[in-house]
Chains A and B, each alone.
Chain A
Amino acid sequence: MSPLRLVIRLTAVAAVAVLVAACGGAQDPDVARVATGLLDAVDSGDGAGACALLAPPVRTELEDTSGSPCAEAVLEEDVGAPSDTTEVEVFDTMARAVVGSETLFLSRFDGRWLVVAAACDPVAGKPYDCAVGMP
């Protein structure tokens, strides 16, 4: 293969690889599973199960601000009702899941998707206002 063809081929491969990498994550089923799992757990009163799906800093923040254990505090939050309709967008280590009318934000911790913000209300032109979130 000539050097010119090699350069063209390598460029094309790199471009396709980045396009696939950037778009491929958008279908990650684990994000939807964790997001709906949190809403299901809170809805069924399973505080421990819900806390297991929260990122460690979120659990700590919840306990610090409520003054009670995570498993109790999380059940006091209005995280929204479960729904079968889930839309997911993934960009590298971050994801957003829209479950029914609820929006949750997730991030990877030790290779697992965990919720970093829930009970979120949209604010026009600004970030979501989330009752459950990072410090």
Chain B
Amino acid sequence: MRTFLRHNALSLAFGLLFLVSLAGQSVAGWLQLNDLQSAEHFDTVSWTAYVASSDFAVDVAENWQSEFLQFWVYLMATVWLLQKGSPESKELDKAGRESDEDQKVGPHALPDSPAWARTGGWRTRVYSSSLAIVMGAIFLGSWLVQSVAGWAAFNEQRLQQLQVPLAWSDYVRNADFWSRTLQNWQSEFLAVGTLAVLAIYLRQRGSSQSKPVGEPHGATGIEG
């Protein structure tokens, strides 16, 4: 048991942080919504009704989509784009998808390589991009959920203001949808870009995301 915890501490810790944060968000969002409802003389809602509402769904989904987009873009960008001195970048002569030998696929696979890396053909092609495919699918799914839940929450607000609801096709062209979307995108791109650049000159001893403390600033593609 202790070995299992030690070997999976990163995923377990982040899973726990996710659940605690989501629970906290549900309580804070519920209290915030009921403040607004009371101020406008509408009835308050229960916590269970809130977590099943479009208000909660859109607030969750808009952050999910941007996080998964961030990692998808980073995954794809780091295939081709380099950053001299950054541990986030590959070595400067390795831009691109690299050779089968470098990637240990097909005849170059190791005895314990994943089966789809060994077989060749479409399975190896799919497996070679499987992380990006799944991250991209979760991004698109979350963005779709944001658009539908945001549409419902926006129309609920419009009805409170005695306005005609919008069609979904109009909502995805509305400023509310794009404001929710872009305010998340800009912060994700800033954070990733900042990490890639600051990691050239700054260190975190012991972290896999940093170069070793004594590594020169110009060393590229080296993680601690």
Chain A residues with CB under 8 Å of chain B are: 4, 7-8, 11-12, 14-15, 18-19, 21-22, 57, 89, 91-96, 105, 107-110, 116-117, 120, 127-128, 130, 133-135
Pick the contact of A133: B130, B148, B162 (CB < 8 A). Answer: B162
Please give the distance in Å from B212's CB to the nearest CB on chain A.
31
Q: With the chains together, A92 CA to B36 CA distance in Å? A: 15
Q: Which residue on chain A has the smallest CB distance to residue B142?
A: A11
Q: With the chains together, A131 CA to B160 CA distance in Å? A: 15
Pick the contact of B43: A107, A117, A128 (CB < 8 A). Answer: A107
Please give the distance in Å from A131's CB to the nearest CB on chain B.
12
Q: Does B101 sit at the interface, judged by CB under 8 A? A: no
Chain B residues with CB under 8 Å of chain A are: 37, 40-43, 45, 52-55, 57, 61, 130, 134, 137-138, 141-142, 144-145, 148-149, 151-153, 155-156, 159-165
Residues on B with beta carbons closer than 8 Å to the beta carbon of A7 = 134, 138
A94 engages B159 (CB within 8 Å) = yes
Pick the contact of A135: B41, B151, B152 (CB < 8 A). Answer: B41
Q: Which residue on chain B has the smallest CB distance to residue A126?
A: B163
Closest 8 CB pairs of A and B: A94-B159, A57-B41, A127-B162, A91-B155, A91-B156, A11-B141, A22-B152, A128-B162
B149 engages A22 (CB within 8 Å) = yes
B40 engages A134 (CB within 8 Å) = yes
Please give the distance in Å from B63's CB to the nearest CB on chain A.
14
Please give the distance in Å from B142's CB to the nearest CB on chain A.
8
A18 engages B57 (CB within 8 Å) = yes
Q: Main secondary structure on chain B at its contact with chain A?
A: helix
Residues on B with beta carbons closer than 8 Å to the beta carbon of A14 = 141, 145
A15 engages B144 (CB within 8 Å) = yes
Given A15-B141, A89-B159, A94-B160, 13 other A-B contacts at CB below 8 A? A4-B130, A7-B134, A11-B137, A15-B144, A21-B52, A22-B151, A57-B41, A91-B156, A91-B165, A94-B156, A96-B164, A96-B165, A120-B162
Residues on B with beta carbons closer than 8 Å to the beta carbon of A134 = 40-42
Please give the distance in Å from B3's CB to the nearest CB on chain A.
20
A21 engages B160 (CB within 8 Å) = no
Instruction: Say yes or no: A11-B148 contact (C-beta < 8 A), given A93-B156, A120-B162.
Output: no
Q: With the chains together, A97 CA to B27 CA distance in Å? A: 32
Residues on A with beta carbons closer than 8 Å to the beta carbon of B37 = 93
Residues on B with beta carbons closer than 8 Å to the beta carbon of A89 = 155, 159, 165
Q: Which residue on chain A has the smallest CB distance to residue B154?
A: A91
Q: With the chains together, A14 CA to B43 CA distance in Å? A: 28
Sample 17 A-B pairs with CB under 8 A, ordered by A number. Answer: A8-B134, A15-B145, A18-B145, A21-B54, A21-B57, A21-B152, A22-B149, A57-B41, A89-B165, A93-B42, A93-B43, A94-B160, A108-B43, A116-B42, A127-B161, A127-B163, A134-B41
Please give the distance in Å from B22's CB to the nearest CB on chain A.
13
A92 engages B165 (CB within 8 Å) = no
B134 engages A105 (CB within 8 Å) = no
Residues on A with beta carbons closer than 8 Å to the beta carbon of B148 = 18-19, 22
Please give the distance in Å from A94's CB to the nearest CB on chain B.
4
A18 engages B40 (CB within 8 Å) = no
Pick the contact of A91: B54, B57, B142 (CB < 8 A). Answer: B54
Q: With the chains together, A40 CA to B137 CA distance in Å? A: 51
Q: With the chains together, A101 CA to B2 CA distance in Å? A: 70
